Structure 1
Amino acid sequence: MDLLRFVTAGSVDDGKSTLIGRLLYDTRQVFEDTLASIERASQAQGLDEINLALLTDGLRAEREQGITIDVAYRYFATPRRKFIIADAPGHVQYTRNMVTGASTAQLALILVDARKGVVEQTRRHSALAALLGIHHVVLSVNKMDLVGWSEERFREVEAEYRGVAASLGIDRVAVIPLAALTGANLVHRASELDWYGGPTLLEFLETVQVRNPARSAPFRFPVQYVIRPQSREFPDYRGYAGTVAAGAVRVGDAVRVLPLGAATQVAAIDRFEESLEEASAGDAVTIRLADELDAGRGAMFVAAGDPVAPASAIEADVCWMSEDTCLAEGQQVLVKHTTRRTRAVVEQLVDRLDIHRLAREPFPERLGLNDIGRVRLRLMEPVVADLYDACRETGAFILIDPATRHTTGAGMTRAVASNAKGGAE
């Protein structure tokens, strides 16, 4: 079975946690002891029915306030597919958590309250999904029971959201009416929605086809560790361990080792105690080369005919995550890109995204907590960076405070340059 990763988002009280809890409950993914614990917690809250939102709202503060703060990950499977759900918070102050949860998602499930329709947070989360390269969106129009299961109201919300999605460049949108509290149209169809002829939410999630750009992207293999057993059984063994970030490689393929620039061939591909003829995106393997090269952690293997060059300047959209500091021009940061780490200088803050108006403000003085802006960085050592839209794995990076070693930002590469003069192009 294949795996679908999706993130849920929406405004406060739109019912994200209840929807996920109901989805897990109706697909029989909840263990008996967990269910018993949730039942006791629901009784302690004075509720007559089980509060399924407690399955995902795990923090004490979340349960007390009735909101999602942290990103909660849940796993479940049906006979047709496996799923990883990232339940992202709805508050604007937790924008960084939404970015974290959506960074690996292939699809965004955005909830709206049928009574309120498209609100500011709907636009914000849709903009973030588009920014993070998520092109599949499911708009779940929740609480249809509170609008009398009205088809007219559903069509109004659908039309409004499709306009928002079109303005953001989101081209694959499905809109599904449901009621998470009762489970209507999540796993089972509801007679009250007999005017709706589309799939239930689960049917859609089981059958939607999402593209994995990494599989069709050029070959990228960031070296994580050099394996040299120094044993009698393998006296000359030298293997480069890591995970194929993009594309595929076969034994005998000609490759280049960057930033060294040396060309060689793939002599063998190992995984545990077996030898493979080919490895593709997502495979954790050890690659042996025909020549002994001075390559270690942070090196990148690419196809010999690939013209890619290490970049010494990049332009990227950065989500600033630090509560203690801001990002400003001239500031030094550490950039961690795949397995490589290098120092960098902020050459320019190009703009800042106004989430409220979905417009960009040019040349801000700084980026603060949860701000998203276009940043130009000059790297002290080159990295093999691709555009984020082409390959997430090699187009993403994190920023680290050189003094505290705390992660302060997450970046998505939009442009690269092989020399620092003039910045990224």
Structure 2
Amino acid sequence: MGTRAVYVIGTCDIKEAELTYACDRIRAVGAQAVLVDVGTGVPGIAPDVSAAEVAACHPDGVGAVLGGTDRGQAVAAMAEALSHWLLARADIGAVLGLGGSGNTALVTQAMRALPVGVPKLMVSTVASGQVAPYVGASDLGMVYSVTDIAGLNAISRRVIGNAAHAAAGMALNPVPEAGSDPPGLGITMFGVTTECVTHLRKLLGDDFEPYVFHATGTGGAAMEKLAESGLLSALLDVTATEAADYLVGGVMPCTADRYGAPARTGLPWVGSVGAVDMVNFGARDTVPETFAGRQFLVHNPQVTLMRTTPEENTAIGTFIAERLNLCDGPVSLFLPLGGVSAIAVPGMPFHDPKADAALFEAIRKTYRVTGHRRLTELPLPINDPAFAAAMAAEIRRMTA
């Protein structure tokens, strides 16, 4: 492995002292520092990589980044350009960003584009607040700057220096490849699909290394991020409740790109429609008034579940099927006709045959069965051991 550099990224027109100090600290401990300018003004120091060089990686060229007068548009365009520029680098040992809200949004967008496992640190004035939009499903670390990044002082030197040393340490000491780990298998789970996932782990744990992701919105995104980072060999996407939240308005939604990773990577995908009987909210008094009169189940003081309607299930089934139709790799969708969750079976509060029938019919109507895309309907609830056994057999067939 050749020399890996720490890419220090910031705006050289207004943060020159802080960026210079970070580079000095990195070089002082024996690592290579590469200063990358993403500012739109005249730099106060000479960077190793100019803003124009980064901007040239934008699909529409330099002018799309540096040619306008709207700062917000320039920051968004520079973030896209930086993402392309970083992905083209073959010598990244770590990425270190410094800045306020604007530069944090810019640099972390590019960091999120990098594979999981590439060291990423962001020293930011907004790191003590709600950082989910900056971190997303990636493994980047946020370091609160304490004082503003507006000149060096006794505190900012310590904070920036610690971050620089951390980045240098990661670049100089990459984690060795294990080499003998079994193939990684991504599995999505929710409380009401836990039994299914437990059966799957027992059936497959000797031949795969199961990575279980709680389907809370970021869970599915994290699994797909690992898939695109080359860290998973297949996906067992049991639980789809994030799609229900996305389409209906719950608090644990996926994005429009859900199921995008198997489409882009061609990884084997075996999945189901677990927990689409529910939309998730916080405490009961936080449920929007627009849902007054609906069927609710208070799971605990912080979590309220709302039963999905037949109309919503039609939309959910259509969404899932349309997304899976984009996959050219091996795909196998299983429908649990006996109930999509632990509380959607006969005798339980969310048992609703009409809603389930709408879901299944939408999938049958939209999902395109081909030589590589299968549909299996079983007269079983999702948590039946036989349902898990069928899914396990299918993932073995795909990965044999």
TM-score (ref. length: structure 1): 0.30
Bigger proportion of residues as helix: 2
